[in-house]
Structure 1
Amino acid sequence: MGKTRTMTLQHASPQRHTRRVLCVVTCLFAIYACAALYYSTLEPDALRLGAVGLCALLCASTLRIRHTLHRLGALCGLCACFAIWLYTDRPSNNREWAGEYAILADAIQDGRIVHVRNIRDFTYRTETDYTPHYYNADFDLDHLASIDLITSYWAGDSIAHVFLSFGFDDGRHLAVSIETRRQKKFSYSTIAGFFHHYELTYVTADERDLIGVRTDIRKERVYLYRLDLSAQTREAVFKNYLTQIHQLTVQPRWYNTLMDNCTTEILARANARTRYRLDWRVLLSGYTASLAYDLGLLNTEYDFATLRRLSRIIRPENATPDANYSNKIREHLPLALANK
């Protein structure tokens, strides 16, 4: 009798362990799936919120199933349905966008000449009060002279927005920032960026707009570093950017805070090795310039702390971006050593 009871308990123990594991997995799935549905672009809102409620109800029902194999089957079914929805939930260029993302840039290469359309050049009075303006411009690849790395901080030192500006020997600069393409009805949310909530966009703009709004309007801490690259590498990076700018006009992509963000996209366009893309300073984007320094891509005449201090853009109180903005912000900055 005692032996039979012992065998029964031994048999029941693995089952209880399996049920606990399934319970934890179901709860984690419920949290992720409900969040994905809540931050999705499903319309109308009643449908989106209804989908969240249905998902939560089905997950709760799964937890009530006592038979282990039946519970596992129900969970697999939920996961399969969610995966199908996630795969078929496609990004779009046809939404009611926030004003600063309303018009996509486009870029077409014709031999050594690049035609860039819809370069943003807004005049800002406040962050939300601006006069929209776009222009077209042609750039000669033979006159691409520099690439600058810009990091902009709005809080601490760990997180920054990172983007590039391409300089030409006639004094023009084309800034390109990889951002969330936000709908008008949504405010920005870091959490939402982990799900299918924002499309990814390459904001292609005049420096007076893209850098100026950060230095003069938002009063962020902005740093500009000259990347020390060969002419061949500069051109390759620029052309990769141009390809992606055009590609997004016909094939939109989802933004992802972890995998497809401003920093990982820069590394992808630069064809960086995988180990660099996995560096912790990519996730904590405020330290991206430190990574570039360690890779020998910045001015190594100074130690990094000194270079960082010297590379901050300092603007007079109540300054506004004007036609000479690009020259003014570089007047006191240490640029790269002689290009390789």
Structure 2
Amino acid sequence: MPVKRLTAVVALCLLGLVITGVACWGTLAILLTGVQDALRLALAGAFALCSLLALLSLFSRRWRRLALLAYLLPLGGLLLWWQTLEPSNERDWQADVAVLPYATITGERVRVHNIRNFSYRSEYDYQPAYYDQDFDLGQLQGVDLIASYWMGPAIAYVFLSFAFADGKHLAISIETRKEKHEGYSTLKGFFRQYELFYVVADERDVLKLRTNYRQDPPEQTYLYRLKAPVGSGRQLFLEYMQRINALKQHPEFYNSLTTNCTTGIWMSSRVNPQHVPFSWKILASGYVPEYLYEQGRLHTDGLPFVELQRKALLNPRAQAAGEADDFSRLIRTPLAAP
């Protein structure tokens, strides 16, 4: 086959892959929006049909150029519509994400507002409560990583908790901000359907929710101590506070791939020069603790990872701690052997 013809075939194949990808993305984007069902289906079907005709035109020299030029019209319309989707802080939010946290930073003193501290009777039956609290950056002693599993070893919900010398602990979890009557879908998370939200909470809230109340499915929650200079932990805490304040002023969309619970942590950690390199294990969030172990970023007590993971399980300790005021201390204290 002559080089010129081979080049043309390769170019057409690549163009076909691009059109196929655009067709899938555009059709799903339309299907997952909140417009009326009939209109949504009609628009999605029309765009899929236009994409199919553009794809078939690649096999016809006579119609190829005209069809591809015509395809630019629905594609351009789709892209213009996509740009009209803007994040907002003004929606009818679910109660657990209704109140935005923010921080007042004065030198080494940080006052965190709207720390969530719900009292749960079950996963969806709770009494909302919030409080404000002052934190002294000079008192920050360490950072803990929490990983909660509910569907096998590859997927976990990962977040951080900051520990201070005076016994205070502040947990920060990167989540979706969902509207009332809206459920979570990983697929929808790719298509600007959720705002990005930082849950800033008392450990008795976010940890007990996972260890004591979630049963459908139940979650297994683990706590690991991160190994890093104290100064790095303080820088990370400040980065979180600044990010939280920025979202209060300028909301952003959550994205299941680029701005999720683990990529958000990694992006913030880049404030420190010694941050861990990016890895596929950050995307497969269940492997994040193992990845940090391999990188020497966990306190291991000389244990292999399997044994460290076994000791890190929080559920029995959290369930034993119950409603105790010193919940954070108790969950870090090994249970006595039966």
TM-score by length of 2: 0.86
Aligned identity (percent) is 39
* DSSP 3-state at the match of 2:122: coil
The root-mean-square deviation of aligned C-alpha atoms, in Å, is 2.8
CA contact (8 A) 1:108 1:115 kept: yes
Please give the alpha-carbon distance, in whole angstroms, between the structure 1 residues aligned to 2:299 and 2:53. 60
Q: How far did 1:224 drift?
A: 0.4
- CA 76–146 in structure 1, closer or farther in 2 if over 3 Å, else same: same
Work out the CA distance in 1 between the residues paired with 2:124 and 2:331: 23
Question: Are residues 324 and 158 of structure 1, via their aligned partners in 2, closer, same or farther at CA, if it must alter by over 3 Å?
Answer: same
Contact 2:212 2:315 in 1 (8 A): no
2:230 partner letter: A
**Pair 1:280 & 2:277 matched:** no
Deviation at 1:95, TM superposition (A): 1.2
Q: Does 1:294 align with 2:294?
A: yes
Corresponding letter in the other structure for 2:178: R
Kept in 2: contact 1:15–1:68 (CA 8 A): no
Alpha-carbon deviations, 1:221-256, whole Å to 9, x = none? 111011112121011000000000111101111111
SS of 2:154's equivalent in the other structure is coil
- Greater displacement, 85-94 / 195-204: 85-94
1:142 counterpart residue number: 138
Sort the Cα spacing of 1:318 and 1:210 in 2 relative to 1 into closer, same or farther, 3 A.
closer
Q: 1:228 to 1:20 in 2, by over 3 A?
A: closer
In the TM superposition, 1:147-226 aligns within 5 A as: 147-218=143-214, 219-226=218-225
What's the offset of the Cα at 1:99?
A: 1.5
Q: Which amino acid aligns with 2:139?
A: H
Q: Does the alignment pair 1:30 with 2:23?
A: yes
* Contact 2:153–2:286 (CA under 8 A) maintained in structure 1: yes
Displacement, 1:311? 0.9
Where do 5+ consecutive residues of structure 1 fail to align? 1-10, 334-340
Deviation of 1:44 after TM superposition, in Å, equals 5.4
C-alpha distance in 2 between matches for 1:175 and 1:134:
14
1:322 aligned partner: 324
Q: Could you tell me the TM-score, scaled by structure 1's length?
A: 0.85
> How many Å apart are 1:83 and its aligned residue?
2.7
**How many equivalent pairs are there?**
324
Cα distance change on mapping 1:288 and 1:36 into 2, 3 Å: same
Tell me how far 1:17 sits from its aligned partner: 8.1
Output the amino acid matched with 1:217. Answer: Y
Summarize the Cα distance change of 1:12–1:330 in structure 2 as closer, same or farther, 3 Å threshold: closer
Mapped partners of 2:37, 2:98: distance in 1: 22
Q: How far apart are the structure 2 equivalents of 1:317 and 1:197?
A: 34
Greater CA drift, 168-177 or 275-284: 275-284
Q: Is the 8 A contact 2:211 2:319 kept in 1?
A: no
Whether 1:126 and 2:122 are equivalent positions in the alignment is yes
- How far the C-alpha of 1:259 sits from its partner, in A, is 1.1
Rounded to whole Å, the distance in 1 between the matches of 2:251 and 2:200 is: 16
The answer as to whether partners of 2:92 and 2:179 remain within 8 angstroms in 1 is yes
Residue of structure 2 equivalent to 1:56: 48
